[in-house]
Chain A
Amino acid sequence: MQAIIRIKRFNPEADRRPYWAEYEVPVDPFDRVLDALHYIKANLDGSLALRRSCAHGICGSDAMVINGRNRLACKVLIKDLGPRITVEPLRGLPVIKDLVVDMEPFFQKYRQVMPWLVPDDPPPPQERRQTPEERARYEDTTKCILCAVCTTACPIFWGTGEFLGPAALVAAHRFIFDSRDRAAQQRLQILADRSGVFRCRTVFNCTEACPQGIEITKAIQELKQAIILSRT
């Protein structure tokens, strides 16, 4: 079958503003949107720029807006979209070229929440013990691949670049609820700041968009609760 792929394009060296380009692409219903974009690059216009690497939803490179929703291009199939597909860069981050956005502001917020284990020292000679129940407590938020789909789907993040955003909060959650970690209070203080967790208005955009199926809004609510409890 044929699909019409409309792409919002922008080349800073040639264009004053973004424009829509349309491509006709032969596709199989089980092709990924990424396959169609590769077809365009290989056969129609090699100058199209997009990030991609693993092509099966693990590396988090190819987040973009597909038919109005934040998706990974390698994790959505043509058959689920139909023959007319629009593709745009993520919102809320500066566009560099075509579908490539500046990821630095995103990773900067990730770094702000101390996304690393701060354990008791020194460690035991073997593993620290952690029960399966303790391990399950933070399982969901270990799945994050930092693709930025959630943060760039969040209207609060669009409104104010100050907000840490869902992905950074997910990273904080992953450590705060890890029984081996000792820096929860420090992190909760960071999250209690005005750019932190209370900016969240539980819109659920993040949860709906997450390609890993992480229950982000729930995790954020747990963080809010933890802050409130730590104050009493």
Chain B
Amino acid sequence: MAVHEFDAVIVGAGGAGLYAAMELSRQADLRVAVISKLYPTRSHTGAAQGGIGAALGNMEEDHWEWHMFDTVKGGDYLVDQDAAEILAREAIETVYDLEHLGLPFDRTPDGRIAQRRFGGHTHHFGQGPVRRACHAADRTGHMILQTLYQQCLRQNVRFFNEFQVLDLLLEDGVACGVVAWEILTGELHTFHARAVMFATGGWGRIYKVTSNAHTLTGDGAAICWRRGIPLEDMEFYQFHPTGIYRLGILMSEAARGEGAVLRNRHGERFMERYSPTLLDLAPRDIIARAMITEIREGRGIDGKDYLHLDFTHLPRQVLEEKLPDITSFARIYLGIDPLRQPVPVQPTAHYAMGGIPTDVWGRVVVDEKNTVLPGLYAAGECACVSVHGANRLGTNSLVDILVFGRRAGRDMVRYLREAERVSLRRNPDRDAREQVERLLRSEGKEKVAALRQELAEAMMEYCGIFRDGAGLQKMLGILGDLRERYRRIRLDDRGRVFNQDLLEAWELGCLLDVAEATVRSALNRTESRGAHMREDYPDRDDENWLKHTLLYRNSDGTFAFRYKPVVITRFQPQARTY
């Protein structure tokens, strides 16, 4: 067994992990490791398309207070407003930081960072759309990922590529490392460190139609949950309105920001009926529900379960210069030229608002009093600060990973100045080794790929955009059945070298855990708010539910809920109309 000694170990090499690593590596005496199940440039930050929201005011008047308000309202008032204030204020300096680090933003004629409209981002507290999303064509995430990776290389950050994290090491309530599995060799590695950060991204793969990469299986959230850390607000899962029909590949909201519109089978711009002020730039939860309503009422294209995203009135130059990637997706995957023909779209599972609870410094907290677990950090989609509340606004995921990845990095520097090294117990990799060996030796008949598919299909049906008590109960039963069958799998590959069969089996365990947390939290919350739409409880209920869910899995396998108050500073909850 290999043991590596570091000061800080970061799991995940997307925007949040790399930003934190960059901050840490500025301290010459700190030894930092980044572990990724991929090569860092494959991380899903690279798939982000449209832009980063920041109230630079380069194109028209804008203020961070407006951005904060939009974030709070967009999140249906479940947002912690102290965190949203930090998000909106620090977005500005973080975007300038990125520019200084080399990010190739698109420019205005006078050389400033160019900005465009995005859903739910408004001027004067909701009066109309504002140009706030800083962009680099529709490849903004790609540019962020490249820029941060390049700076980490410049600063000699130590990368462990294609290492799958399996376990979090805690001693006396202090984080002291992780166990990871080297995919190339099958060897287990223990990373002994004084600070640990999870930046492992989301878990869109619990759903059948998703914009998420195959590798987004909720590993960090599942590992923390297994170690007694609660998961916060897991019932809030965002469906992005415009995924390519059946494939789920994203047609960026930037498309609508640049003027594309949604139409039903009658050619009607149906968002006029649902959101008279913001129309096609309403927040995602509202548009996704409107689309499903159109489909249910028979106004899907040809009566089927999709609608049209119409670019045909836009100038060629807008598509080719501002939306080149999504134009090419439509051409490649559908054989459709969006200049001439509308693109078939349906909502696609996209983003987890909930996750590992943290404070505004990325420190993981374990209860409703925000008690910090020393040495443990989380940021990015796997974390819940909570700046997105019940529904995230477009562009705010990139803001989140950068602002809070940076803050986590900075706080780790501070923490490491004082924190002592905690010794590891004997055989720290024992639990991880058992997990792997059990999967390798399992002598059943069940196939992992089939279980993954059944899970994803059932979650789509019973825990998707619309939910109700009966469906969620049914889903819990399905999860129990899938868990039972998961114990009886059989792998085709029992080797050590690059055993992806084993990797996917282990990931399935994470998918089952995060799906379970999602379904239980959704069943528990008997109201509708943001992305959580209960048809049996269709109204928002501030009296009983203006609070965050914390779901624990106890060591005996039972579950417990606790609740955390929402931090409200500037904006009192109001009815949410657009």
> A residues engaging B (CB < 8 A)?
11-14, 30, 32, 38, 41-43, 45-50, 52-61, 75, 77, 96-98, 100, 103, 107, 111, 114-117, 119, 123, 125-132, 134-135, 138-139, 142-143, 145-146, 175, 178, 180-181
CA distance A159 to B447 in the complex (A): 43
Among B99, B102, B109, residue most surrounded by chain A Cβ atoms (within 10 Å): B102
- The answer to whether B42 touches A116, judged by C-beta atoms less than 8 angstroms apart, is no
Question: What residues of A have a CB within 8 angstroms of the CB of B334 in the complex?
Answer: 30
In the assembly, what is the distance between CA of A145 and CA of B40, in Å? 11
Contacts of A145 in B (CB 8 A): 41, 46, 142
User: Hey, which chain B residues are within 8 Å of A56, CB to CB?
Assistant: 47, 247, 249, 329, 333
Q: Is B38 touching A61 in the complex (CB atoms < 8 A)?
A: yes
9 A-B pairs with least C-beta separation = A117-B102, A129-B111, A42-B449, A46-B492, A47-B493, A116-B150, A123-B100, A59-B42, A46-B501
Establish whether residues B495 and A11, one from each chain, have CB atoms under 8 Å apart when the complex forms: yes
With A46-B449, A56-B333, A130-B111: A117-B150 Cβ-Cβ less than 8 Å? yes
Contact A103 B100 (CB under 8 A): no
Q: B107 — which chain A residues lie within 8 A by C-beta?
A: 130-132, 134-135
How many angstroms between the C-alpha atoms of A43 and B448 in the bound complex?
Answer: 10
Q: A47-B492, A107-B39, A117-B101 are in contact. Are A77 and B332 (CB under 8 A)?
A: yes
Identity of the chain B residue whose Cβ is nearest the Cβ of A126 in the assembled complex: B96
Write the chain B residue with the least CB distance to A132.
Answer: B107
Interface size class of B (residues with CB under 8 A): 35 or more
Known: A46-B447, A53-B38, A142-B136. A100 touches B100 (CB 8 A): no
Q: Which residues of A contact B497 (CB under 8 A)?
A: 11-13, 96-97
A30 to chain B, nearest CB (A): 7
Interchain CA distance A32-B56 in the complex, whole Å:
41
Interfacial chain A residues near B112, Cβ < 8 Å? 126-127, 129
Q: Cα distance A117–B498 when bound, in Å?
A: 35
Beyond the given A45-B492, A47-B492, A178-B102, could you list 5 further A-B residue pairs with CB under 8 A, ordered by the A residue number? A59-B47, A116-B150, A132-B106, A135-B105, A145-B46
Interchain CB contact under 8 A, A46 and B150 = no
| 28 A–B contacts, CB within 8 A, in A order | A13-B496, A46-B449, A46-B492, A47-B493, A47-B495, A47-B499, A49-B493, A49-B500, A53-B42, A54-B213, A55-B249, A57-B329, A59-B43, A59-B46, A61-B38, A61-B39, A75-B332, A96-B184, A97-B497, A117-B101, A119-B102, A126-B96, A127-B113, A129-B112, A132-B106, A134-B111, A135-B106, A139-B104
| Chain B contacts to A: CB under 8 angstroms | 38-39, 41-44, 46-47, 56, 95-96, 99-102, 104-113, 136, 139, 142-143, 146-147, 150-151, 153-154, 184, 213-215, 247, 249, 325, 329, 332-335, 447-450, 453, 491-493, 495-501
Are the CB atoms of A43 and B449 closer together than 8 Å?
yes
How many angstroms between the C-alpha atoms of A135 and B101 in the bound complex?
Answer: 15
Q: Are A61 and B42 in contact (CB under 8 A)?
A: yes
List of B residues within 8 angstroms of A131 by Cβ: 107, 109, 111
- The distance from the CB of B53 to the nearest CB of chain A, in whole angstroms, is 16
A111 contacts B153, CB within 8 Å?
A: yes
| Residues of A with C-beta under 8 A to B453 | 42
Name the B residues within 8 Å of A98 (CB-CB).
498
List A contacts of B43 (CB < 8 A): 59
B499, chain A: closest CB distance, angstroms: 8
Report chain A residues within 8 Å CB of B110. Answer: 129
Complex contact A46–B493 (CB within 8 A) = yes
Question: Which of A55, A119, A143 touches B213 (beta carbons < 8 Å)?
Answer: A55
Q: Given B44, B95, B101, B493, which contacts A54 in the complex, CB threshold below 8 Å?
A: B44
Give Cα A107 to B152, complex, Å: 14
Chain A residues, CB < 8 A from B147: 117
CB-based contact B332/A57 at 8 Å: yes
